């Protein structure tokens, strides 16, 4: 994989469309995948907190979430093809999931927001099987969310807990899953809920 490293963070050299195809390919092969979409805030946080830096290095792919990273790559003479954001990646994946009837799980946001996002997805992407969801306000040390996900084996789990909680949640629970794509999508459920 071709990468561009900025302040210790290795970004995949790809554009939005190719990235979605790459992820779709891995979903079909049942390969476990962890995606971090990193904006300048994430890069700064990783440089201030080595534990967070180590954690995002566990990701299968880290993408350039926003024009700030693309500009920084240009200045360093290591150009990236373009931004690959959490929201656009989620929308691209929902498109593939609709075509191929993938199973998805939604984790995060407030209860009402999550419900609205779920309704919107069910309505706009009738091919998708929403196999479960949970709001993002749960007891971190006492919940059965990961067990539920391990049971229903979603093709894609969208984790919308904000940075760095979503990356932390994925990294802490990833070993309990034997397949599936896990991606932190920040405020995307709020955006989809409208
Ligand atoms: N969120 C959550 N649990 C929390 C904190 C945040 O589910 O404990 C959700 C929040 O409701 C929103 C999403 O995470 O849907 C993104 O939050 P925020 O805008 O703070 O994060 P960012 O987009 O800046 O990463």
Tell me if 110 CB under 6 Å of ligand 1.
yes
Q: What separation in Å is there between the alpha carbon of 41 and the centre of ligand 1?
A: 14
- Per-residue confidence band for 113, with pLDDT thresholds at 50, 70 and 90: very high
CA distance 9 to 95: 29
Mean pLDDT score across all residues of the chain: 98
- Per-residue confidence band for 1, with pLDDT thresholds at 50, 70 and 90: confident
For the chain, give the percent of residues with pLDDT over 90.
Answer: 99
Listed by start position, the domains of the chain span: 3-193
For the chain, give the percent of residues with pLDDT over 70.
Answer: 100
CA-based Rg of the chain, rounded to a whole angstrom? Answer: 16
CB 124 within 8 A of CB 152: no
CA distance 183 to 123: 22
Tell me if 109 CB under 6 Å of ligand 1.
yes
Pairing of strands 33-38, 129-134: unpaired
* 116-142 per-position pLDDT tens digit: 999 999 999 999 999 999 999 999 999
- Per-residue confidence band for 101, with pLDDT thresholds at 50, 70 and 90: very high
H or E stretch covering 158: strand 156-160
Reading the block at residue 21, the tokens are 């195809």
CB 53 within 8 A of CB 45: no
> Residue 36: beta bridge partners?
62
Looking at residue 58, the DSSP 8-state letter turns out to be: T
Q: What separation in Å is there between the alpha carbon of 148 and the centre of ligand 1?
A: 21
Give me the long-range contacts of 77-85 (CB less than 8 A, separation at least 24): 78/4, 78/5, 78/6, 79/4, 80/4, 80/11, 80/13, 81/13, 81/14, 81/15, 82/15, 82/16, 83/16, 84/12, 84/14, 84/15, 84/16, 84/19, 84/37, 85/16, 85/37
Tell me if 160 CB under 6 Å of ligand 1.
yes
Nearest CA to ligand 1 atom 15: 109
* 7-52 per-position pLDDT tens digit: 999 999 999 999 999 999 999 999 999 999 999 999 999 999 999 9
Query: Mean pLDDT throughout 171-194?
Result: 98
Residue 112: Cβ-neighbour burial (10 angstroms; 0-12, 13-18, 19+): exposed
Q: What separation in Å is there between the alpha carbon of 21 and the centre of ligand 1?
A: 27
Q: What is the ipTM of this complex?
A: 0.94
Q: Which atom of ligand 1 is nearest to the CA of 136?
A: 7
Q: What separation in Å is there between the alpha carbon of 44 and the centre of ligand 1?
A: 18
Tell me if 161 CB under 6 Å of ligand 1.
yes
CB 185 within 8 A of CB 87: yes
Tell me if 189 CB under 6 Å of ligand 1.
yes
Architecture of the CATH domain 3-193 = 3-Layer(aba) Sandwich (3.40)
Q: Give the residue, out of 162, 192, 194, with the most ligand 1 atoms within 8 A of its beta carbon, to mutate for a pocket test.
A: 162
Q: What separation in Å is there between the alpha carbon of 77 and the centre of ligand 1?
A: 34
């Amino acid at each position: 994989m071709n990468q561009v490293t900025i302040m210790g963070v290795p970004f995949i050299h790809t554009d939005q469309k190719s990235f979605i195809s790459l992820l779709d390919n891995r979903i079909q092969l049942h390969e476990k995948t962890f995606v971090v979409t990193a904006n300048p805030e994430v890069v700064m946080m990783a440089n201030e907190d080595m534990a967070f830096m180590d954690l995002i290095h566990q990701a299968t792919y880290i993408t350039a979430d926003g024009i700030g990273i693309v500009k920084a790559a240009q200045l360093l003479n290591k150009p990236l093809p373009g931004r690959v954001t959490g929201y656009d990646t989620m929308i691209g994946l929902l498109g593939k999931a609709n075509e191929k009837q993938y199973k998805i799980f939604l984790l995060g946001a407030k209860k009402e927001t999550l419900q609205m996002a779920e309704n919107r997805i069910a309505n706009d992407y009738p091919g998708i099987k929403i196999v479960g969801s949970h709001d993002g306000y749960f007891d971190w040390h006492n919940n059965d969310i990961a067990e539920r996900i391990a049971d229903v084996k979603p093709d894609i789990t969208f984790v919308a807990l904000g940075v760095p909680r979503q990356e932390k949640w994925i990294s802490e629970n990833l070993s309990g899953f034997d397949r599936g794509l896990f991606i932190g999508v920040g405020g995307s459920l709020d955006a989809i809920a409208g």
